[in-house]
Amino acid sequence: MTFDSTSKPRHLGDDTAILKPSIIPQSYETGDVLPQSQPAGAPVTVKQSPFAKSWAHLIAGGLGGMASATLTAPLDVLKTRLQSTFYQNHLAASRTARGLPPIETMSFARSSLLHIRETFQILFEVPAAEGWRALFKGLGPNLIGVVPARAINFYAYGNGKRIIAEWGNGGRESAWVHLCAAASAGIITGTATNPIWLVKTRLQLDKSTHVDGKGRQYKNALDCTMQTVRKEGIRGLYRGLSASYLGVTESTLQWVLYEQMKLRLARREERLQARGGAATWWDETVQWTGKLGAAGSAKFVAALITYPHEVVRTRLRQAPLENGALKYTGLAQCFKLIFKEEGMVALYGGLVPHMLRVVPSAAIMFGTYEGVLKLLGTSSNVD
């Protein structure tokens, strides 16, 4: 009996099935399942941590805050002065001298026009009386506050949104995810930066010459800080914090509106791609300016709804009176006293310069934020 298999020698390459690897590769030593090899150059898919590139939000937010604060500093000074007691009294005396009735007795249209006129009146009076540099008073502490504040806010929001979405919503964005992330970011930011904003406000309200003939009350930001701690204690640096927490409603509303507008823009882009064909000039315009318009519109709506807290916060941060007493001692007391003494219109003091400042400021800030994130190889979206 003969066997064909022995008629010729068997070579290693004749039957590759003998050495064919199993479907699931295993280690010869431990028996553990090994990852399957991939062709050279093939992308390796690794699920990123919710904290991946979290530093990008910190940098982008800080740069966005710096750009917007510098470009809109004069309007910030003007808004702060119009919110204060001193300038409200100055305007009231000016109206009386011109024979005008109290502004709270005027119609809405007339009081609005008068407010706009008085806003530009003070805008021209400040550089005429104190020099053009007065329009940038408090910019130093403002930048010291804005850069970390925006960095913290965007960092907390960007990463908070990602974490909440990953752990609570299956990795998807939604309105409630934006709401929770924005509220958390606002509280964290307000607590961390309140002393800086208090110093900035007091420097902006510090007049060149006091009525008693003395010079300015504060030499610089450090002197303002030291005087505040010496006279009011550490708690003095946190005056207005309750109003800042109330202001979280504004930032939260702004973030939610902005995200919803971004979502609509993304859906519009998907519809255009599905439709095919050449994009119109309007499509190109929306593509380039859509996010800037969304940021400005969201800020406009949020600021208009929640503005009175800005006035209350400024009043709470004012320096004590000549006798060392505080005119405004708490959030509710401040609201009631302003309404009683000056009327509802006082709660909207400085609204015009505020809107002129915050709408372009938001567009600049969010535009810079999105642009820097893109340069750093990431985006503000969870997906």
pLDDT tens digit string along 221-253? Answer: 889 999 999 999 999 899 888 888 888 999 999
Residue 315's contacts (CB-CB under 8 Å, 6 or more residues apart) are 83, 84, 85, 327, 328, 334, 338
Structure-block tokens of residue 64: 């966005």
Question: Residue 72's closest CA among 361, 364, 368?
Answer: 361
Residue 212 is predicted with a pLDDT of: 52
Burial of 192 (0-12, 13-18, 19+ CB in 10 A): middle
Residue 34 has a pLDDT of: 44
**% of the chain residues with pLDDT over 70:** 83
Of 146 and 10, the structure prediction assigns the larger pLDDT to: 146
pLDDT higher than threshold 80 for residue 342: yes
Q: Are 286 and 265 in contact (CB under 8 A)?
A: yes
Percentage of the chain beyond pLDDT 90 is: 24
Backbone Cα Rg of the chain: 30
Higher pLDDT, 157 or 73: 157
Q: Which of 7-16, 245-254, 256-265, 374-383 has the lowest mean pLDDT?
A: 7-16
The tens digit of pLDDT for each residue in 102-126 reads 877 788 788 888 878 888 888 888 8
Average pLDDT, the chain: 80
Asked whether residue 313 carries a pLDDT value surpassing 80, the answer given is yes
- Sorted by where each begins, the domain ranges of the chain are 51-137+367-376, 147-236, 239-342
Band the pLDDT of 59: cuts 50, 70, 90. Answer: very high
Burial status of residue 3 (CB atoms within 10 A of its CB: 0-12, 13-18, 19 or more): exposed
| Position with higher pLDDT, 185 vs 329 | 185
DSSP string over 138-186: THHHHHHHHHHHHHHHHHHHHHHHHHHHHHHSTT---HHHHHHHHHHHH
Whether 28 shows a pLDDT value over 60: the answer reads: no
- Name the pLDDT band for 53 (thresholds 50, 70, 90): low
pLDDT computed for residue 244 by the predictor: 82
pLDDT at 325 over 50: yes
309 pLDDT more than 90: no
Asked if the model's pLDDT at residue 52 lies above 70, the reply is no
* Residue range 253-267, pLDDT digits in tens: 999 999 999 999 989
- pLDDT value of position 7: 47
The string of pLDDT tens digits covering residues 61-73 is 999 999 998 888 8
Q: What is the pLDDT, as a whole number, of residue 204?
A: 78
- Under DSSP, the state recorded for 269 is H
